[in-house]
Structure 1
């Protein structure tokens, strides 16, 4: 805090008073005075030091602490005090001087998993111990863009959910589902670029097969399902859902949806490029998410009654 020097001065003044009292009490024995006074001085000086070296109660554990490039040591110290990283800017500066790094504090993003005292914070900034460790984030097959936005926003502090949605919607279906590792300071644009690059780096393996199939990559990615048009992931469909005017409602609109949806896995893409030949024309998923296929509409209706009660 800014009043740290004043508090320390008052502590030293009180020390002086205590010393005077002990001096008058033990004036006859110099050795006795020394043995008593020195510990008292040390204790009185250490008390405010120990109080102010402790991390603040509002320490931003689990959050990014940004140290902009170009700031002086004093400006960095004031920033850390303001952000509740340290209790005293003065004490922080003193700790940096102890490390002899007052002219070489490292700028950038710092991440503390738990509250740290001023001495440890000073050491981290003195030597560039950023504390950034990759976060494991799993994007499952079939995940839609809006679900991705919510997922990444939970883990990444600089992830702009609205901007991601705006920029990623045209790429629906072209963001590859996989396990990703991002640093805590990754933003939405880095995430989008990574998912996009991952998709094309994987589908390049299918180029020859796609070319031989006579279809485009977009044709392969497009998948006709209701859930996208409804804006939810429930499997409960109503009569109103089936009557929807959405261009993705393949009960009313012939052919495939106008754009790709969801996030198909590599195996799904490969299966779409080289589908297994069969006589099946209909399929449905039961309440346990098991898919049942039928060759005729009559069999399909029977399975619908059997597995869905409809």
Structure 2
């Protein structure tokens, strides 16, 4: 022990060292607390429930500027540094992001980096037989970024090839996202039927055109195959299709040049597998029930009986 320290009443050097360590620790803790408060914690005026849109092609700096402006983060430097550490500088996921409560900057960075937007997807159901205009109307009422005019322009050549189904989109989805999803869905469905279409002796185009008519003409699953058989028979004998769903088929022979609607899988299969019958005519009464006829005179009787 240091005799001078004992005789003079001075504390041992080791005590001075402990005090210095405690001082530095306190300083470090204070520094970290201040860093957290000024850089890492949520701003005091953080708006709970805020929805922030990150546009496609947004840069990290532009995103951090928006987050700073909307009081989601305190420090752009802290946010950008964390995103870079997470490897997301050039992988910003575009979406509408919901910030339901106050979040520290690292949680915000994680969400933006991995696309954890916490927004419930929008469910949109397209019934079988809808044409592109009806599809456009439906999506325009559901998606804020959906441009109906651009959709109709791009979808004009895709009539018949947009598969009717229930789709789920993020709120920022646009007409290109819709077209891509519906076209991809159609391609997946039709690939599984390619062998059956080839065996039918008809082209895919003719099958889709016919199924688009069947979709509009039939009222039930049983009707589809019988109506398919009747329509293919009319083509075979050189008779106009005379389908109410396609008025031009009363004036010209053969199939229309393009599909008139977007058929579902049942109508496509009905076009591939028509059911043979002795009938050449059919109509639906006011209750939707179908009535067949072998000759035109029988068909006229059905018209007088069920439609007059």
Out of 159, 177, 181, the residue aligned to residue 168 of structure 2 is: 181
Give the Cα separation in 1 of the matches to 2:121 and 2:75.
29
> Does residue 111 of the first structure (1) align with residue 96 of the second (2)?
yes
Q: Secondary structure at the match of 1:136?
A: strand
Q: Which residue of 1 aligns with 2:302?
A: 303
Give the Cα separation in 2 of the matches to 1:220 and 1:93.
56
Q: Which residue of 2 aligns with 1:43?
A: none
**Which structure: larger Rg?**
2
Give the Cα separation in 1 of the matches to 2:301 and 2:269.
31
Out of 188, 191, 204, the residue aligned to residue 191 of structure 2 is: 204
Give the Cα separation in 2 of the matches to 1:204 and 1:222.
17
CA positional deviation for 1:141: 0.8
Residue-by-residue CA offset, 1:183-233 (whole Å, 9 max, x unaligned): 2232222221221222222122322222222211111111485999xxxxx
> Does residue 76 of the first structure (1) align with residue 59 of the second (2)?
no
CA contact (8 A) 1:140 1:177 kept: yes
CA contact (8 A) 1:248 1:257 kept: no
Out of 104, 129, 141, the residue aligned to residue 128 of structure 2 is: 141
Q: Secondary structure at the match of 1:180?
A: strand
CA contact (8 A) 2:214 2:267 kept: no
Give the Cα separation in 2 of the matches to 1:142 and 1:73.
42
In structure 1, runs of 5+ residues without a counterpart are: 1-48, 81-88, 229-246
Give the Cα separation in 1 of the matches to 2:283 and 2:300.
10
Residue-by-residue CA offset, 1:73-109 (whole Å, 9 max, x unaligned): 87224543xxxxxxxx4xx443889xx6463367544
Give the Cα separation in 2 of the matches to 1:199 and 1:301.
39
In structure 2, runs of 5+ residues without a counterpart are: 1-41, 217-245
* Cα root mean square deviation, aligned: 3.6
TM-score, length-scaled by structure 2: 0.61
